[in-house]
Structure 1
Amino acid sequence: MKFDFKAISDKCVKCGKCIQVCTIYGINSDEVTSPRGFLDLLGAYKRGELELDKDVKNIFESCFLCTNCVDVCPGSLHTDTAIENVRKDIADKFGITWYKKVAFWFLGHRTILDLAARMGYVFQSCGFKIQKDAKFGNSMSARLEIPLLKKERLLPTASKKSFMNSHPDFVDNGGERTIGLFIGCMGNYAYTSIGEGVLKICKTLGINVDLMKKQACCGAPMYFTGDFKAVEKAAKFNVEYFEKILEKVEAIVIPEATCSAMVKMDYIHFFEDDKEWQERAKKVSQKIYLATEYFYKFTNLEEILAKKGFSDIDVTCHDPCHARKMQGVYKEPRALLAKNYKIVEMQDPNKCCGFGGVTMQSNKYELSRAAGQQKVHMLKETGVKVVSAECSACKMQLNNALHIGEVDMKCVNPIELIGMVLDENLEK
């Protein structure tokens, strides 16, 4: 897609509201790495006054794409979209690192990825120390022991069997209603208990589930890295597939904020110069919901949970950037969780956890680490053992940050917490 960098740069009035909430500026207090700094540089780039050299590449790859600046901007300027587009130009000029290409290729070939995931489960003990938390299902993590990578890091590991391969194409709960489930790559291969939680909820509600097994990766990792060719392939495939699915289901439910924001909102941005596909993406987006949003607005799950009693687990809530700021979803998970858990709010639940995408996690991990530790400080002050976040990227980032900070706390998807309630006999 084409993007007018000069137009968005000229609209910035330099009020400075964005700087106060900017994730990267909070770590690196340099005007260059601030939203209005980014926009100034983008304007200079458009005017031919700035060359995309390695220094400029480094600057534009330092943005976390948290959308905090968009959220507070008086003009609602989409600095995030501008940076996503300049990263496309950067990728075209410098290329994409080989290991990112490999990862993106696997994400675009699910059958081969299924095999790779199974092989990964078998051989991961060669390079990882596995930790498993029985209380929170099969959400596993591994401490890296590979010399070339940071030994401190705690990352999710492949499950023995992917979520979609563990269930039939269609789960018949004897209901009159049916939803489609877009599980996402992380939920399918690592955090499989999230999908199991959705199935438990749907069984309780009597809602049938189409697992949409032909679904492709949403394309978010490629989009944030600048691989627009891969994004176009994934986006067009999914939009066409969703159109067919929506002929037989009432909605497509996604328990992952990043995936949901990508297919519901970023596809529309991506197809800005292709009106036919943009209109198709817009039509599809009207039937896409974050899981807690759907269950809160369109079912009686809240009423059912109210009859289950209270857990002895206290919870604090982290609001994923792609949930609260992009989709306006943050009240819904709290409303559902509050029926069974005491919620202790942290100082700033809206503060970005610092995941930041593939580039931030690989080339700029120290920035991601610093942002994560800022969030950990807030989490420690709550005194609880569980932080809820409806995003696997946040879950991965926060669990790693908590591990590094030596804090006895786990990040769990709210769908997993609700599934636990439906499994247990709580005191009424």
Structure 2
Amino acid sequence: MNFNEFELHEDVLNAVDSMNYQAATPIQEQAIPIILEGGDLLACAQTGTGKTAAYLIPILDKVAHESDGKTAALILVPTRELAVQIDQQIQGLGYFVGATSIAVYGGNKGPEWDQQKKALSQGADIIIATPGRLIAHLQLGYVKFDGLKHLVLDEADRMLDMGFLGDIMKIMSFLPSPKQTLMFSATMPSKIGDLAKRILHDPKEVRLAVSRPAERIDQQFYMAGDSQKLPLLSHLMTDVADTSMVLFTSRKNTVEPIVRALRKLGLKAHGISSDSDQTDRETVLRSFKNREFPVLVATDVLSRGIDIDNLSHVVNYDVPRDPEDYVHRIGRTARAASKGTAITFINEADQKYVLKIERLFEKEIEKRPIPAELGLGASPIFNAKRNSGSGGNSGGRGRNDRREKTGKTVQEGSGPAKKRPFRRKKPNPNPST
């Protein structure tokens, strides 16, 4: 379907053309008419399917031609990187329609706070915000959302995984009714359905099947304990030229150790996590995109917010908890006619997540052992039977959930204290007392 077939204003069509958008993607084809009609929407689509443009284009079409100088649309996102990415996309599309926008997120200096305060109090057409920073502004009493007509929750599943449900509901209490509410999620666990029932009014649903990885991607799964992963990676990267690799890890406190270990192996590497200063993160990402160093180490929470494609390698230092995340990550390789390599390490704790990937692919994945000649010891044993009942549905989380947020891993076997053994009371030597 061509964008000319939607009932869009001419300046919006010019903006779409300037961004080199060709035919609408499936999510755009189904979502844009619903949003233009003004109804609520619950949409399930992978990151990378064009979902951002699916809601930005119709919202810009409305905002640009119904502007009253007040904030018309609020977009809530889980990470700073995604907020910046969406803001840049609005700037590209908004050039022709004259729409204003600002990204509101934490980790920046005083001038940025003042700029956010001005936009929130005086009005910008579209606000893109992370929940925590927006609440900080809302609590000070100057935020004006009385003209808000559109609310978007982007990557709603990730926001819930990061513990933002309470923040989302608190923000909702500051927003006027009625308004159009749009929820976009890469996965559809039961908690997304529960949230939709609470905040959406008679929504229409759009669900797209998760796409399979390109055949050109060489997917390699290795059974490896944590101490074996980096030496094995060093061996796998031997004689690899012109590397552009992102390594994803689940724990933010492992980013710097991994970076130091990679540097000792002769690989130039830098890392980013939620603990990194925002300016430093932007500098590192820009340098990596410019091919100033070959290896970027990042945490799970940042994985969907990193706008980087055309990689030679993607390394999953830990198995992604959601199979859709796995598909999206490795899809950053093998773009156009190129080939790519995806390396995933499987330790004993992460085996249940491999079963989810296998269910998605509807086939068993080959799990390679560590080559004996490396002298790294025996590989962990994959036990499908032991893990077959673990992990819940495809959108579920395991006991190591939200490790990136806390920086701590729950130890196997932790939980409620064991009951003390029953001890029989000693008989009273003097029954009469």
Q: Tell me if both proteins adopt one fold, taking TM over 0.5 as the criterion.
A: no
Taking structure 1 as the reference length, the TM-score comes to: 0.32
**Max radius of gyration: which structure?**
2
Larger helix fraction of residues:
1
Larger strand fraction of residues:
2
